[in-house]
Amino acid sequence: MRALLLDLDGTLTSTALLHKEAWEIALKELGIRVDVDLNLLMGRKTLDIAKVLGGERYLELYELKNSIYESLVPKKANPLPCSRELVEKAREKGYKVSVITSSLRRSARVALNVVGIKPDLLVAGDDLPKGKPDPFPVLYALSILGCQARESVGVGDTLYDFQAYSGAGLGRIFLVRGELNLELSEAKGQGAIVVNDLCEVINSLDLDR
């Protein structure tokens, strides 16, 4: 059995920048000043980011950010090009589809519902003790789906995604040049297939045939 394992924010949905916007608004409302490149934190668990940014006030920041994000998603979130098609075509070819995200389950559900994507399995950041870049959530998804790592494919948009997929031993790993415009040459040098959008993933996997 094989699986298609997908990141959510910035991979399937236009929500990576919405997370960043929510952090910025929450920090401003709480009067917390940080000297951190938020782009480089995207892809990590929400609580971990809150601890980096909020210090002793991390729980206050965590709750406010989540509330703001969930108010932004219905207004601004969209599926990224070929995201729905990728999920549908992969299923037709016998893949089981899992979304593995560092976002909270409640946040992920909001985004998935808005863009109309329904994975066979959702693994969220608050479901497990370890999140990306640790391979644990990827291995967990494979075990639940009953799929082999070497037969499976991972798709994401950050180095955290690549590290998690690579650590789990996935056969093929795609990284999308997403909203955050991250530097992906390091992952490419280690075997990641860097693409401009999910339409290229469909073509590379011959899902249209």
Spatial contact of 172 and 191, defined as CB atoms under 8 Å apart: no
Last residue in a domain, options 35, 57, 76: 76
Say whether 26 sits in a helix, a strand or coil: helix
Residue 32 covered by a domain:
yes
Last residue in a domain, options 60, 76, 92: 76
Looking at the structure, do residues 7 and 27 belong to the same domain, yes or no?
A: no
Looking at the structure, do residues 50 and 97 belong to the same domain, yes or no?
A: no
Asked whether the CA dihedral 173, 125, 83, 92 is positive or negative, the reply is: positive
Largest CA distance in the chain: 54
Q: Rounded mean pLDDT of 47-76?
A: 95
What value, to the nearest 5°, has the Cα angle with vertex 108 and ends 161 and 37?
A: 50
- pLDDT score of 149 more than 80: yes
Confidence of residue 181 (pLDDT cuts 50, 70, 90): confident
Looking at the structure, do residues 98 and 155 belong to the same domain, yes or no?
A: yes
Residue 209 covered by a domain:
no
Looking at the structure, do residues 135 and 171 belong to the same domain, yes or no?
A: yes
The structure's pTM equals: 0.92
Question: What domain range includes position 48?
Answer: 16-76
Looking at the structure, do residues 194 and 131 belong to the same domain, yes or no?
A: yes
